[in-house]
Structure 1
Amino acid sequence: MSGSAERVGVVLPAGGSGSRMATAEAPAKQFRLLGDAPVLVQTLRAFLRHPDVGPAVVVVRAGEEGATRDLLADHGAEADVVTGGPTRQASVHCGVRALPAPVEAVLVHDAVRPFVTRSVIAHVVKAVRAHGAAAAAVRVADTLRAGGDGPLFGATVPRDGLWAMQTPQGARRDWLLRAAANAAGHVATDEVGLLQHAGHPVWIVEGDARNVKITRPSDWPLAEALWTTWERDDVGQGDGDSAV
């Protein structure tokens, strides 16, 4: 694959209903204001300003296309907006197909992970170019314990060798397209699961603990607090090799 930015695209699935955070008074989480722009825009900006990444596609639910295009235009964020499918996997497939023809490698990133560093993006791109597929993840640090009967804890789960998945997750475009087309009813929760189902190995890239997904109401005040220092500190500039 070429190293030019035009050949690395990004897909942001943004079709979640945000039911755990959306209320009558507040929009879905990807459209809530974080700093000077909605979460979706802040996440997209991290990729648009990255030298390793070129075209971007945002995937939304049917009926949200026009409003999303207007929102991106209002904030000067350039991306195609396409309609997704009934599942995240189907929506990502729509986004990958919508990228322009020169794109040979694709990053998929949650629209509600605005705290992705430039370093993590660069390392995932590097690993995809070298190995065909890669994803960001962090080593599990907490003790893991299964639930038992009723309110009781069960057995402790060994955490050695366990990773908590993050995004971006990336791969050769042809791998992602074929994996989705040949899934034969298999529904994966992320691109790693889909690629592994298709027989493709996926390289581990060390992620960042700050690269959190805004999901629950309790995540929002934490995200606002982190944002106050995020841009000021200009994080994620390191470019050492973080692939495992």
Structure 2
Amino acid sequence: KVLSKWQTELKGEGWNSLFWNNHDLPRIVSRWGNDKEYRVQSAKMLATLLHFMQGTPYIYQGEEIGMTNVKYESIDEYDDIESVNYYYDKIENGYTHDEMMEAIWKNGRDNARTPIQWNDSENAGFTKGEPWLKVNPNYKDVNVNKALEDEGSIFYYYKKLIKLRKENDIIVYGDYKLLLEDNDKIFAYTRSLDREKILVIVNFLEEEAEFNLPEDIDFNEKELLISNYEVAKEESIDNLNLRPYEARVYRLK
């Protein structure tokens, strides 16, 4: 509802800043995706959803390689004064250490402030000194070098999204329309300009979901612009069984 409100009410009145992450928010793949079994798929899905909207997308450091929230064991390992004060305040009011750490692991601001993970060397290649926060322990698997070596990585997916935005005026100027407003699994919308339409379909959950194309969407040709799973070109889009966190974008004519 919030994203659609930004798209419709700012149309012709202002320009959107499109973002999932910043220094005060937890990592998006940990917040709205699955940062374990479906880390790559859900990170790509979230990127797809945002990058086809009208506005200027912001990519927060580490988002493009799927960096995740961190789980420090002790409150002493956190720097964020808000999290530290919150912890001690709640402890005084009867909450347990485990309860408070679960909350901070989920929503703490230091999740977005850990050093960028460049490679699998000490401190993830960020510094030869001591970083202000400990590096996320998953840096050996999630780092820039590893992403650059993998043609199917989140990083290269972002490059494709940016290229599509630069090459298609419809993504910049097209009208936005939300589809399936009451569907609690699928976020789908169209962008329309002249006789062209872009259809964006994403499954927001880690379970399969059925997509049924609304009857009022007419087209003669379809072209798959991008997807985070392999998709058969001849597959009909009238009824789709979407895989966990699947994202597809079609050009319709």
The structure, 1 or 2, with the larger RCO (C-alpha pairs under 8 Å, 6+ apart) is: 1
TM-score by length of structure 1 reads 0.27
